[in-house]
Amino acid sequence: MSEQNVDKGRRRMLTLATSAVGAVGAGFMATPFILSMTPSARAKAAGAPVEVDFSKLAEGVLLTIEWQGKPVWIVKRSNAMMEKLGTLTDLLADPDSDVIAQQPAYAKNTSRAQEKHPNISVMVGLCTHLGCVPLEKFAIGPASDMGDDWSGGYFCPCHGSKFDMAGRVYKNVPAPTNLPVPPFRFLNDTVIVVGENPEEAKV
């Protein structure tokens, strides 16, 4: 693909990404399970932490919120999704998140999650190649259109990068690193603050 075409493609995807985030923002008002989004919209636009109640979020469903102008994904992963994470090491470029720190220290583990809530995934939903928004491909096996041996994850439609359910990038794709995990802390089992570290992680 020529540089010009890549640029055009990227512009188009960034426009789509912005639209998608806008739609999610509108969805907050109509979606009953989002109990609170604080602080004010103006502060949020400036990058303030965002509180998210995901108590009504079903297992295996992708929730997108906006933080610092970026889409952030929250997923309550199923047992089947969690079991696959330990089986992919040989297929991944950086399975232990050792090469480049793309997550806080407390999320440097196989599930890239916090120890007390290993099934809750929180990630910035922007491809680490050129910033497109990857697609959710959570189905395991052929139902995903990703091949019979697909283990569930994310697929970037711009240039074909693939990530597992922990946002770890597969080998031999354009994306150079795992998807970023933002700072986040739990207020209780179903409410998090995106943009803040847990108390015990603060120095």
User: Has 159 been annotated as catalytic?
Assistant: yes
Helix, strand, coil % in the chain, rounded to nearest 5: 25, 20, 50
Min dist. Cβ of residue 18 to ligand FES (A): 15
Q: Between 146 and 158, whose beta carbon lies closer to ligand FES?
A: 158
Catalytic residue chosen out of the listed positions 159, 170, 173, 198: 159
Query: Residue 131 or 198: which CB sits closer to ligand FES?
Result: 131
Q: Cα angle at 159 between 157 and 163, to 5 degrees?
A: 70
- Binding-site residue total for ligand FES (CB under 6 A)? 11
Q: Which of residues 115-174 bind ligand FES (CB under 6 A)?
A: 127, 129-130, 132, 156, 158-161, 174
Find how far residue 115's CA is from the centre of its chain.
18
Give the span between the Cα atoms of 3 and 140, in whole angstroms. 34
Judged by DSSP in three states, 145 sits in coil
Spatial separation of the C-alpha atoms in residues 120 and 11, rounded to whole Å: 31
Please pick, from the candidates 75, 85, 175, 194, the single residue that binds ligand FES as defined by CB under 6 A: 175
Question: Of 39 and 69, which has the nearer Cβ to ligand FES?
Answer: 69
Q: Which residues are catalytic?
A: 159
